[in-house]
Amino acid sequence: MRYGMVIDLKKCIGCTGCALVCKTENATPPGILWLRVVKQESGKYPQVRRVSVPLQCMHCAEPPCLEVCPTGATFQHPNGIVDIDAEQCVGCRYCMMACPYDQRFFLSAERTYFPGHTTPFEQAGYQRHQAGVVSKCNFCTPRLNRGLEPACVANCMSRARTFGDLDEPNSEVSKLIRDRGGYQLYPELGTNPSIYYLPP
Amino acid sequence: MITVQPGEAVWEDTWIPTACDMCYNACTVRVRRTNGVVVKIEGIPDAPPNYGKVCAKGNAGLMNLYNPHRIKTPLVRANPEKGIGIDPRWKPISWGEALDLMTAKLRAAHAKDPRSLVAATFDRYGHFVLRSFLTAFGSPNLTTVSAGFFCGNGVHPVAYTLTGSNDVHPDLKLCNYLLMFGTSYGFVAQMNAMGLTQEMAEARRRGMKLVVVDPVCTYAASQATEWVPIRPGTDAALALSLMDVLVNELGLYDREFLRRYTNGTYLLGSDGHYLRDPKSQKPLIWDARQNRAGTFDAIDRTDAALEGSFQLEGIEAKPAFQLFKEHLSAYTPERASAITTIPAETIRRVAREFGEAAGLGATLQLEGHTFPYRPAAACWYRGISAHKHGMMNGMSVGQLNVIVGNIDMPGGMLNATAAGPFWGPREGADGLLVSGNPFTYRHMRTPIPPRPVRRPETLELVELFPVSVYARAMLWLGILHAEQFRLPYRAEVLIQCRTNMMAASGNPEIMAAALKRIPFMVSFADHHDETTEFADLLLPDTHALERLMPITYNPYYHYNNATLPGEAWSFNFQQPVVEPMGEARNWIEVIHEVGGRLGILNDLYTAFNEIAHLEDPYRLDPARKYTWEEICDRWARSYCGDEHGLAYFRKNGYYKGEKRTAAQSYPRIFNTGRIPLYLEHFIGAGEDVKRFTESEGIPWDTSGYVPLVDWRPCPAHPERASEFDLFVVNQKLPFLTFSFTSENPWLTELAERNGKVFPVGINAETARKKGIADGDEIDLETAGGRKARAVARLSQGIHPECLAVPGILGRWVTANERMKHKGIHFNSLLEYTLDRLDTLSAAVDQCVKVKVSPVHTEKEGGSHA
């Protein structure tokens, strides 16, 4: 069992709905986006290509962030999800230096979206985040526990995202990777990410 | 306000179905409320139109709800001086005092002239009531949106002409080749944003070719099979040239469709008018089998001559299509290439691909009917509509569809609202297709038959636009030029809600001048913006999650709630999820209360029965008084059946009815009314306008009333050789549309992280020639002396003659400091004068050129010089 995600760059339109649904689902504080979408431009006018690439924690099978964590706060679930135990995190941020995908975020101080005011949503949601620790995407583990897909997958309006078990050869994700030439980011680093992209 | 304390036990965790209000598409959502707090907004997988998906704006809606800067009490202006940047010096007052003041001002206006009341809203659900209020009051001056300056002017009249419906959309379920002109249809923009984004993704997955014609490699163009960059405002030249290749070079056009379903067979005399039967006055066609002329309704359509020249009692007569075909030959790809900058070989190739994809001759069996199957379509929107000749631009792309016979056929361009269980188009005078939709009443007027020109009574002067659907952009010019148009009264009171006209409509300087002419302005709003800055009375409106609003998704009426082929006719409701913040009240309920105070509720109910199209036994009894809940209940049961009233919607949020049948989806073969490919009715309409405006001494351009569409340059085009050498063009952003979305800090964060929102895009090679590097500050200046300052972003994805200015940015009144003066406010660069309006469609020309120079001095503050 190893949870993974396939993101079809042919389908992704770069709308950033996933970035926002991640924000509401996980109530991440200001300045922290566990998921964002970058645009890449290539070619020369008029033969130009612009591709939207969503980025989030890659949930590597060989996570460099875990290796460097001095307290064991970063750990790997048996289902492959790389997670952080906030109670054990001392905020040293070695993991942020080690992550080649720049997908770990440090909350330096408690802040709110409207300066000087905490909305009821934030009062409720920020209980999940504490200052001085590192956080990141956890594939919406609380949703998985309720039998739901990660929020970014469930809400993707162009259905560019597929979630499933990479170890199961007949799963939708495994089939897509096989049939459509799915690839990982920076495979040469040996991190073996659990997020695969399908070519645009 | 309820707040959740850390560690507090969960005493409530519930999901409430309602409808989103972060744009105008009314997606069905459910809202999770935990211990009284909204913690999540998401879609409902089975619920149309968005089927479980919500865009970034919709997800972010709760941060607008909880914005601490919302207006919480009624406010009255203490500063008599009004203007951009002038502090109104708001003073809080009670609701009682506020409504006393509003009622007194309305009474005084009514005594002067009831028509002196003007109302403007973009609350598409609230406007049914607002319109009823105005009708009861006696004023025709309702403008339903602050848009209608740029967007649908060159779309809706064309859609009515082609299908009898107020909009058209491509059949993404079956289309194999889609040409898009100046729109991001299916990319989280435009109508049914969520549903069509899913359809578009699926269409692309199954291999539909998407060709996007746009000066900028937009979100849509980025994902297209091919991006065809074009010089702004020249799309009609391309469309006409594509037709020239199809008709005159390749012979790829649907003769059968043209014979059966258009006026292409109607015989024309040398004056361009139909030749008519002397007795019946019916247009004549040529019977090619019997070699004689007869009235259009007396000859089998398949026998009618489409081409050629015939002698009719000594007069040379040609079928309209013959003239159409000859007219096209002026648009060779070589000529179009010089106009559009698109290589001639690309035009020829795209024309061939489009024509071949249309599969002329193919048929499809659906639900027992045999339909012509035409899986190629060309759609268009604001990008080509917002020009000096917006009507012609839209019509040219509309006609490209007619040529391949795809109108209301599987795979082609379909009507959005015309054919449903309740009404469909009819056959009108001269055998032409006429809308049968009763909801067009006073909102969108129908262009066929043209309306007689008469002395303007409305401030938007719609009486001078016989073939438009509205003339909203004229409203403010009508206020400013009331003497010139001899309007018999002046605007006295403006009621305005949920529309930021100052930011979203014409040039703000001119808008401000018009607003200042109106002695008393009431705004309902939940936040301060560029428009409320001009209000005399500012009343706190509810957020959508705090109000009851029925039939928000309304496929019978709203073109962007189009029901797709084979899908269910469905409806949804907004209902309160939390209590209103502060003293906020649902503005529609306040309008009812003011109607009661004025003693016009009975007339309001009578008007509402017609405007909302209520049927017995749910019509309102003018002798009674109803609560808002009772009205919502009757409205819902009238549309959705007795079982599906307010209680049903409170529980379920949405109602799914019968599926749209194949005959409703593809009604062309069942309609007898014909599409006027040749716009003979324009000739008389133009003569009518000319006669009136000349007699009144009103300078008015009537040269566009011609039966055959041309490409005509915008005023900006001849500026080519001067130092004003770059067009500014505006693109939609999927996460920031409508100015109020920039009040939202989550969306602000996305915009800041995006990196491509606030800078102005410039073609990398153009920038190099001008000595501009990525990240440089640049000054923009129009020939009219309008200026802006921005950061340059170099890109290969922009036409070399263009600057890309996205979204509705450069906000100057917002509580969100992070958005204030960020980016460029596009409309501030535009001229908004009579000579920049399309006198056929009332579109405002957005074609404007600027000169660009790098900033050499130290930075001098804000983005607007």
Q: Is the CB of B796 less than 8 angstroms away from the CB of A41?
A: yes
- Return the residue of B nearest to A161 by Cα: B201
Please name the member of A11, A25, A155 whose beta carbon is closest to the beta carbon of B205. Answer: A11
Please name the member of A44, A127, A160 whose beta carbon is closest to the beta carbon of B6. Answer: A127
- Point out which residues pair with B286 in neighbouring strands: B293
Q: What confidence tier does B423 reach under pLDDT thresholds 50, 70, 90?
A: confident
Q: Is the CB of B52 less than 8 angstroms away from the CB of A49?
A: no
DSSP state of B837: B
Write the single-letter amino acid at B389.
H
- CA angle (B620 as vertex; B615, B622 as ends), nearest 5: 135
- Return the residue of B nearest to A156 by Cα: B53
Cα separation, B607 vs B128, whole angstroms = 9
Q: Is the CB of B197 less than 8 angstroms away from the CB of A120?
A: no
- Mean pLDDT within B657-665: 93
Taking CB atoms and an 8 Å cutoff, what residues of chain B touch A39?
222, 754, 756
* Least-confidence region, from B418-432, B692-706, B787-801: B418-432
- Which of the pair, A4 or B443, is modelled with greater confidence? A4
Checking if the pLDDT of B857 tops 90, the result is no
DSSP state of B115: G
The strand pair at B37-43 and B28-34 is best described as antiparallel
Checking if the pLDDT of B110 tops 50, the result is yes
pLDDT tens sequence across B165-213: 989 999 999 999 999 999 999 999 888 899 999 999 999 989 999 999 9
pLDDT at B2: 46
pLDDT tens sequence across A156-191: 999 999 999 999 999 999 999 999 999 999 999 999
DSSP state of B541: B
Checking if the pLDDT of B146 tops 80, the result is no
Checking if the pLDDT of B283 tops 60, the result is yes
Please name the member of B56, B57, B201 whose beta carbon is closest to the beta carbon of A19. Answer: B56
Instruction: Please provide the size of chain A in residues.
Output: 200
Q: How far is A92 from chain B (nearest CA, A)?
A: 25
Describe the strand order of the beta sheet including B28-34 as a list of residue ranges.
B13-19, B28-34, B37-43
pLDDT at B718: 85
pLDDT tens sequence across A43-67: 999 999 999 999 999 999 999 999 9
Instruction: Examine the predicted complex and report whether its ipTM is higher than 0.90.
Output: yes
Burial of B597 (0-12, 13-18, 19+ CB in 10 A): middle
pLDDT at B302: 94
pLDDT at A40: 92
Cα separation, B566 vs B148, whole angstroms = 30
Checking if the pLDDT of B675 tops 50, the result is yes
Q: Which of A157, A159, A161 has the most B C-beta neighbours within 10 Å, making it the best mutation to test the interface with B?
A: A157
Q: Which of A47, A50, A148 has the most B C-beta neighbours within 10 Å, making it the best mutation to test the interface with B?
A: A50
pLDDT tens sequence across B581-618: 999 999 999 999 999 999 999 999 999 999 998 999 99
- Mean pLDDT within B402-430: 89
Checking if the pLDDT of B1 tops 60, the result is no
Contact present, B749 and A30 (Cβ < 8 Å):
yes
Q: Is the CB of B747 less than 8 angstroms away from the CB of A20?
A: yes
Which stretch of DSSP H or E encloses residue A135? Answer: strand A134-135
% of chain B surpassing 70 pLDDT: 96
Domains of chain B (ranges; CATH) run 717-854 (2.40.40.20)
Q: What is the mean pLDDT of chain B?
A: 94
Taking CB atoms and an 8 Å cutoff, what residues of chain A touch B57?
20
Please name the member of B222, B227, B734 whose beta carbon is closest to the beta carbon of A46. Answer: B227
Taking CB atoms and an 8 Å cutoff, what residues of chain A touch B3?
120, 123-124
Residues 207-266, chain B: which have Cβ within 8 Å of A? Answer: 217, 219-223, 227-229
B200 close to A (CB below 8 A): yes
- Mean pLDDT within B553-558: 82
Contacts of B378 (CB under 8 A, 6+ apart): B178, B179, B180, B181, B239, B354, B397, B400, B401, B413
Taking CB atoms and an 8 Å cutoff, what residues of chain B touch A36?
753
Q: Is the CB of B222 less than 8 angstroms away from the CB of A16?
A: no
Q: Is the CB of A120 less than 8 angstroms away from the CB of B3?
A: yes
Q: How far is B77 from chain A (nearest CA, A)?
A: 26
One DSSP character per residue, B380-429 reads: E-HHHHSSTTHHHHHHHHHHHHHHTT-BTSTTSEEESSSSSSS---EE-G
Please name the member of B5, B40, B217 whose beta carbon is closest to the beta carbon of A50. Answer: B217
Checking if the pLDDT of B775 tops 80, the result is yes
Cα separation, B640 vs B422, whole angstroms = 12
- Mean pLDDT within B767-795: 96
Domains of chain A (ranges; CATH) run 3-198 (3.30.70.20)
* Phi-psi map region of B755: left, alpha, beta (phi>0 left; psi -120 to 50 alpha): left
Three-state SS across B568-612? EEEEEEECCCCCCCCCCECHHHHHHHHHHHHCCHHHHHHHHHHHC
pLDDT at B190: 82
Taking CB atoms and an 8 Å cutoff, what residues of chain A touch B228?
46
Q: What three-state secondary structure class fits B102?
A: helix
Contact present, B175 and B406 (Cβ < 8 Å):
no
Q: What confidence tier does B371 reach under pLDDT thresholds 50, 70, 90?
A: very high
Q: Which of A10, A12, A15 has the most B C-beta neighbours within 10 Å, making it the best mutation to test the interface with B?
A: A15
Q: Is the CB of B219 less than 8 angstroms away from the CB of A14?
A: yes
- Mean pLDDT within B724-740: 93
B32 close to A (CB below 8 A): no
Q: Is the CB of A124 less than 8 angstroms away from the CB of B765?
A: no
Please name the member of B3, B217, B219 whose beta carbon is closest to the beta carbon of A13. Answer: B219
Q: Is the CB of B222 less than 8 angstroms away from the CB of A14?
A: yes
Q: Is the CB of A10 less than 8 angstroms away from the CB of B60?
A: no
pLDDT tens sequence across B436-465: 877 765 577 899 999 999 999 999 999 999
Contacts of B84 (CB under 8 A, 6+ apart): B502, B508, B509, B512, B530, B533, B812
pTM for this predicted structure: 0.96
- Mean pLDDT within B228-236: 98
- Return the residue of B nearest to A15 by Cα: B734
Checking if the pLDDT of B4 tops 50, the result is no
Checking if the pLDDT of B858 tops 90, the result is no
- Mean pLDDT within B747-772: 96
Burial of B509 (0-12, 13-18, 19+ CB in 10 A): exposed
Q: How far is B787 from chain A (nearest CA, A)?
A: 28
- Mean pLDDT within B313-336: 97
Q: How far is B863 from chain A (nearest CA, A)?
A: 23
Residues 770-829, chain B: which have Cβ within 8 Å of A? Answer: 795-798, 800
- Mean pLDDT within B130-153: 86
In 3D space, the residue among B365, B664, B422, B690 whose CA is nearest the CA of residue B557 turns out to be: B422
B62 close to A (CB below 8 A): yes
